[in-house]
């Protein structure tokens, strides 16, 4: 399928998977009685798809996602699992979902409208199309950027008292406080990731006291390198390409300056950052496999049952 390309693959799905019906010419006499038949063309069996989806894993991910969504009182969500060695998508769940089998049996207009008009949008694929701030899942990528830029040693200890305070540059009497969940004390990079220290990543991302930060431009650069500003080119339609905010963007579209607080919030995956669950999974795959961003694929191969796979 790699040799076909995405556009060609979609066209191939449309024209080849369903096959071609055969054609027979019926021969009748002048009175309309059938006198025989003639085969014009033989029916051609359609191709088959072999997916990377693991059925057992798909079911387990669905159940786990459903249970967690109900436990936290949410209504919608998405989950994806992929093989970091190849980008093969092993499970992809958008919740709530629907039974695909109803289409093969011929769905009624009433049943279709019920799904279509559901306020929780079962037809909407949240794994590839929903736009979310990443939250703390961003932190290993901020750490990777900081290491690449050599602005901090992974062994350097930073104190996490549970908050940092920043004075307004124009009025020192105004103090802004950025908080973590709880104090973690002295943390190095490994521990900061393990305990998800907001204070450490505020410091590494935006800078604090004598510690230089990455700043918004370099954060944007490294998130872009991990694929958060472009489509993954998954073999599914409707993918969102991701968005990482910047000072220029904020000035242009919000007519507001970029503040230190914007950098701090971006450093922990908040602010106007918008990416998909699939983009996050692909980026983590690159960490797991040593640095390769694989194109994620649902389809393993297309099989021509009359010849071989293509």
All residues at 6 or more sequence positions from 61 whose CB lies less than 8 Å from its CB, including other chains: 79, 81, 91, 93
Distance, CA of 11 to CA of 179 (rounded, Å):
51
> Does residue 269 come out as left (phi exceeding 0), alpha (psi in the -120 to 50 range) or beta?
left
Distance, CA of 182 to CA of 18 (rounded, Å):
57
Distance, CA of 204 to CA of 221 (rounded, Å):
15
Active-site residue, from 136, 153, 271, 309: 136
The residue among 258, 237, 239 whose CA lies nearest residue 248 is 258
- Has 37 been annotated as catalytic? no
Q: Could you tell me how far CA 5 lies from the centroid of its own chain? A: 20
DSSP codes of every residue in 117-157: T-TT-TTS-HHHH--B--GGGGHHHHHHHHHHHTSS-TT--
Paired sense of beta strands 185-187 and 158-160, if any: antiparallel
Annotated active-site positions, please?
Answer: 136
């Amino acid at each position: 399928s790699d040799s076909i390309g995405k556009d060609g693959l979609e066209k191939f799905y449309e024209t080849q998977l369903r096959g071609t019906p055969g054609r027979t010419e019926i021969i009748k006499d002048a009175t309309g009685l059938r006198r025989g038949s003639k085969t014009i063309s033989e029916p051609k069996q359609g191709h088959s798809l072999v997916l990377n989806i693991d059925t057992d894993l798909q079911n387990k991910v669905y159940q786990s996602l459903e249970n967690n969504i109900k436990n936290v009182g949410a209504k919608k969500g998405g989950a994806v699992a992929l093989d970091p060695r190849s980008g093969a998508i092993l499970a992809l769940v958008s919740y709530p979902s629907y039974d695909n089998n109803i289409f093969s049996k011929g769905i009624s207009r009433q049943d279709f409208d019920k799904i279509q008009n559901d306020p929780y949008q079962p037809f909407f694929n949240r794994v590839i199309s929903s736009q979310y701030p990443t939250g703390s899942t961003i932190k290993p990528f901020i750490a990777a950027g900081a290491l690449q830029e050599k602005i901090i040693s992974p062994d350097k200890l930073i104190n996490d008292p549970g908050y940092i305070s920043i004075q307004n540059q124009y009025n020192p009497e105004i103090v802004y406080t950025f908080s973590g969940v709880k104090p973690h004390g002295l943390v190095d990079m490994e521990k900061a990731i393990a305990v998800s220290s907001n204070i450490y990543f505020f410091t590494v991302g935006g800078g604090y006291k004598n510690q230089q930060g990455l700043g918004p431009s370099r954060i944007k650069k490294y998130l872009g390198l991990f694929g958060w500003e472009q489509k993954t080119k998954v073999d599914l339609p409707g993918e969102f390409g991701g968005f990482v905010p910047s000072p220029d963007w904020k000035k242009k579209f919000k007519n507001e300056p970029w503040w230190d607080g914007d950098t701090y919030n971006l450093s922990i995956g908040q602010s106007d950052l918008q990416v998909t669950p699939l983009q996050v999974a692909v980026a983590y795959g690159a960490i797991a496999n040593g640095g390769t961003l694989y194109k994620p694929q649902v389809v393993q191969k297309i099989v021509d049952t009359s010849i071989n796979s293509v």
